[in-house]
Structure 1
Amino acid sequence: MAGNVPPVADERDGLLRFLEQQRYVLKLAAHGLTDEQARQAPTKSALTVGGLVKHVATTEDGWLDIILQLPQKPFGEGMADYESGYRLGPDETLAGVLARYDEVAARTAEVIGRIDDLGRPVPVPKGVPWYPQDVEAWSVRWVLLHLIEETARHAGHADIIREHVDGGTAIPLMAAAEGWPETPWVKPWTPETQPA
């Protein structure tokens, strides 16, 4: 996939493709990293590239559960899980969280594909401090827009973290992942091209 979303057929296609594009650029921030590098938090933040991929996969999957109105853990019970969801644990691998993210993406396409009306209400879970208490429901459309926003925010975080880990930046990483030839404008990322 190149740096831009291709033309879209309709609203549903556009929402899913823009979400897919943001997932892709987040995963590009992980391109070529070792598990150890994916666990590094090289800025004042505790965020890591591997932890961000894990978090966004878990978040997207959780939103699908909300759309499907599956039971949710009461707020507070899941806080340890929530906090560990930002970290690539010692028993986890970057390849594993990337594969999980791909599974979640496939689930999203499948779930959204079964919904005939993107305006269908999605009840707002109660008792979560960052959810509005004065709104009864969002729509499936709103959830997809929110997932695009959330993924884009964390893709930006991952770009900054990745640059601090080894100097890798978005376009050279994309060039490497997609096998672009070197040009005067873009030199694909390789471990050897990064500053020591």
Structure 2
Amino acid sequence: MADLRTQLHDMLRVQRAALLLKLEGLDDYEARRPRTPTGTNLLGLVKHSAACELGYFGETFARPSELQLPWEVEGVGPEDNEDMFATEDESMADVLAWSRACFDHADATIEALPLEAEGRVAWWPEDRNTVTLGQIIVHMALDEARHAGHADILREQLDGAVGLRSEGNNLPEWDEQRWADYVARLTLIAEAHAP
């Protein structure tokens, strides 16, 4: 059985993979097109997760990187939200390469330090900003799972692609009619509970 650090690291990697999978087969336009009133887009979810990993596994544990966070670019600040979308000058390939480099930096931190290693999250309140590597791995795996869920819904609305794995998915293997019947049933149940 793998040790706890390996298990936690593997859980984080699974969430990254699930998030990256949602870009598979998309062109630059579909990957970056806003799909909600707040601008949520598939490529932005990946960029955001990578930026978070770079911060949490870099600065928090005094392991600097030569990679630049989106809000560290000259003329850009955190309020510009540039970690949530690919800018005019960034291609999908650029964002993916930068994200993979962020993930590699995070992996190196996880592999170099024990779970008990202490760090400090500068952007958290002082009364709770001292953390361990184990806490941050869990924090990031949960955050990325949340974003992978967002991405799953956005991708399903785009072209019907659902599930956790590219070779299939983790949903029942129903035909189109069975899914339509299922949705109709859920609609009737919801309508029976309408105010």
The question of a shared fold, defined as TM-score above 0.5 by the shorter chain, is answered with: yes
Q: Distance in 1 between matches of 2:61 and 2:141?
A: 19
| Pairing 1:1-196 to 2, within 5 Å after superposition | 9-69=2-62, 78-80=77-79, 83-115=81-113, 117-125=114-122, 128=123, 131-171=124-164, 174-175=166-167, 185=173
TM-score normalised by L of structure 1: 0.73
Deviation readout 1:94-135 (Å, 9 max, x if unpaired):
2222222222222222222111x311211231xx4xx23322
Give unmatched runs, 5+ long, in structure 2: 176-195
SS at match of 1:122: strand
**Distance in 2 (alpha carbons) for counterparts of 1:69 and 1:186:** 50
In the superposition, relative to structure 1, how do residues 133 and 68 fare at CA in structure 2: closer, same or farther (>3 Å)? closer
- Tell me which amino acid in the other structure corresponds to 2:128: V
* Kept in 2: contact 1:88–1:94 (CA 8 A): yes
Q: Provide closer, same or farther for how the CA distance between residues 85 and 136 of structure 1 changes in structure 2, counting only shifts above 3 A.
A: closer
After TM superposition, give the deviation of residue 13 of structure 1 in Å.
0.5
CA shift, 1:19, in A, is 0.5
Displacement of 1:70 after TM fit? 5.8
Q: Report deviation, 1:80.
A: 4.2
Indicate conservation of the 8 Å contact 2:41/2:85, yes or no. Answer: yes
Query: Unmatched 5+ residue regions in structure 1?
Result: 1-7, 188-196
Q: CA deviation at 1:136?
A: 4.7
TM-score (norm 2): 0.74
CA RMSD of the aligned region, Å? 2.7
